[in-house]
Amino acid sequence: MGMFDEQGGGDINDIFNMFRQARQQYTGRQDDGSGANGPRPQAEPKGSLASRIVKSLIITLVLAALYFYVKLPALNVHAYEFWWFIALFVIVFTICMIVLNKFRSDRSLDYIKYAKKNLAVPFWIIIGIIAVCVIGSVVGLVVFRSKSYSKLITVETGDFQQDIDEIRWDQIPMLDSASANNLANRKLGELSDLVSQFAVNGSTSQINYQDAPIRTAYLDYGGFFKWVNNVSKGIPAYMRIDMRTQEVTVVRLEEGIKYSPSEYFNRDLNRHLRFSYPTFMFDDINFEIDEEGTPYWVASVINKTIGLFSGTDCKGAVLMNAVTGESQYYELSEIPTWVDRVFSADLIVEQYNYYGRYLNGFWNSLFGQSNCTETTSGYNYIALNDDVWMYTGVTSVTGDRGNIGFILVNQRTKEANYYSCAGAEETSAMSSAEGAVQQFSYNATFPLLLNVSGQPTYFMALKDDAGLVKQYAMVNVQQYQIVATGNSLAACQANYKELMLAGGFIEEEDVGELPEDETKSSKTESIEGKVLDIRTAEISGNTIFYFKLDTDEENYYTVSVKDNPLAPIINIGDEIRLLYTPSEGMLREADLAE
């Protein structure tokens, strides 16, 4: 005290003023000098606030652009991702405003006051977005709008024999998606200029091309560096797989495909579509070709018709040239007739299940369940009148094992017909077919529905563990104990009609002319000779016999025990006759001739 008294009583005030000024400069707040409330916030200059807003907006727009470029949200109020995009925009802008302000304080109360003042607006915007999403979802709940859900699809009653002509046997599609992929991959392996750079995409689309059922397969780049090597030329080819003859055609293009799912940056298929149509919500995007063989991407455009986010339905499609990237949107009534797939099978199944469950109201679907139906667990496709129709069975929601009918729905127009036909469910028919050849442990493909002499008939391919088609099966829908199999389509057909004739389901005049057994065609050759050597191998649980004959000492003929039960009893020196398809190499797949 003596020191301060000697220097003068005002010096201590000067020291307090010095600390107060330093604190004020550090915190940016004014002190009233009492020390009771501590430093207070200082008003931000108008120029500084404007600068902060501009900087925050620039940062937010840059991040929003990057997010849009990567995630590609539809800028549509009916899309959940649009509202999340807006919420993210608000959150990023708010964070930028806070960080750029460089607010500091040594008291938590100041931060609370600051938050109330600066976060109130974004907080209520986020609350509003949440409210819109919740209310938009609630008003579309099926409990309130069951009638609207049941009207998403219009189902007419059809006549099976009148609507579905008996298909010619040379027009029956015998390949499923998995088999078509195997054939496409095998074909690609034969093309030395393509196999090292490209891979067959696992998704094939069934379409009608020049009045024939085919599957189209497109190629993907083998990786980023292979994309770099080929990006200037694009993907040079695609494949057509004939579902009747199993022939694979590689279609070489004068100019390569420049827009596909395996492209990068702006040539990526989804990104190119989003930039061209920022407000559209897309469903399936299918690879199709027109009647001249030009490759297109058909992107289904969906809309929400119930509430804000419910009642999915297609309103049109965008057709994009896969080579040039040129595109055009078509309303449903304007889509060209060569297009086969607009409504996805999953969307059709969803809409029919709404129709079957809620036709008589929501509460009936829970309690009385009068006339409540649903689709079965699978579906397939039928080519009718140059269109592709989706087929699936219809069963009761009570979970019995039988069908009460089935539906056919045009995948371009959504024309839907119901056919009353009590009978076996598809999985039951598959089990019946597998049981008929249980000694071979074959697996049945999902059935194709055919009209055989006026009888609804399930047609299936029977494949071994390696995925190769070994036999065919037909099962009567209404009498699924009638099961016919055969090593060829003609043999299967003949056996099936013989069983129906014997059971009194058809008359003699309904049998018609049977096609020649294709196993006896010129594509299959035969060889006879004395066995010189026998070798065996176990492949995927199946025993394979290798026979060398004295009439062809350069090659071995492979015979599967599953398909040829008599193979194990053949000895060296026996005379045998084999049926085989000529091929390159020293191994030729064969069967024992009867």
148 lies in some domain: no
Is residue 40 very low, low, confident or very high in pLDDT (cuts 50, 70, 90)? low
Instruction: Compare 34 and 547 and report the one with higher pLDDT.
Output: 547
Is the pLDDT assigned to residue 36 strictly greater than 50? no
Phi, psi for residue 313 in degrees, rounded to 5: -150, 155
Helix (H, G, I), strand (E, B) or coil at 472: strand
Tracing tokens 């900087």 back to the chain, one arrives at: 55
Please compute the mean of the pLDDT values over residues 191-217 and round it to a whole number: 91
pLDDT digits (tens, 9 = 90+) for 127-163: 999 999 999 999 999 999 999 999 999 999 998 888 8
Which pLDDT belongs to residue 446?
A: 92
Is 382 in the same domain as 330? no
- For residue 273, give every residue at least 6 positions away whose Cβ sits within 8 Å of its Cβ, in sequence order, or none: 280, 282, 285, 297, 299, 318, 320, 327
Is 329 in the same domain as 361? no
Is the pLDDT assigned to residue 333 strictly greater than 60? yes
Is the pLDDT assigned to residue 356 strictly greater than 80? yes
Is 199 in the same domain as 320? yes
Instruction: Compare 66 and 177 and report the one with higher pLDDT.
Output: 66
Judge contact between 441 and 465, C-beta under 8 A.
yes
Is 196 in the same domain as 315? yes
Is 468 in the same domain as 418? no
Please compute the mean of the pLDDT values over residues 533-553 and round it to a whole number: 84
Structural domain ending residue among the three candidates 489, 519, 549: 519
C-alpha 586: how far from chain center: 40
65 lies in some domain: yes
Please compute the mean of the pLDDT values over residues 529-541 and round it to a whole number: 83
16 lies in some domain: no
Please compute the mean of the pLDDT values over residues 461-485 and round it to a whole number: 87
Is residue 124 very low, low, confident or very high in pLDDT (cuts 50, 70, 90)? very high
Which pLDDT belongs to residue 514?
A: 55
- For residue 310 the two structure tokens come to 């419910």
Which pLDDT belongs to residue 13?
A: 56
Is 338 in the same domain as 351? no
Is the pLDDT assigned to residue 412 strictly greater than 50? yes
Range of the domain at 55: 44-138
- For residue 526, give every residue at least 6 positions away whose Cβ sits within 8 Å of its Cβ, in sequence order, or none: 577, 578, 579, 580, 593
Overall domain count for the chain: 5
CA distance 167 to 527: 35
7 lies in some domain: no
Structural domain ending residue among the three candidates 423, 448, 464: 423
Is 234 in the same domain as 276? yes
| Residues of the chain above pLDDT 90, percent | 54
pLDDT digits (tens, 9 = 90+) for 100-110: 876 666 677 77
376 lies in some domain: yes
Is 477 in the same domain as 383? no
Please compute the mean of the pLDDT values over residues 78-91 and round it to a whole number: 95
Query: pTM above 0.75?
Result: yes
Is residue 591 very low, low, confident or very high in pLDDT (cuts 50, 70, 90)? confident
Structural domain ending residue among the three candidates 324, 342, 360: 342
Is the pLDDT assigned to residue 322 strictly greater than 50? yes
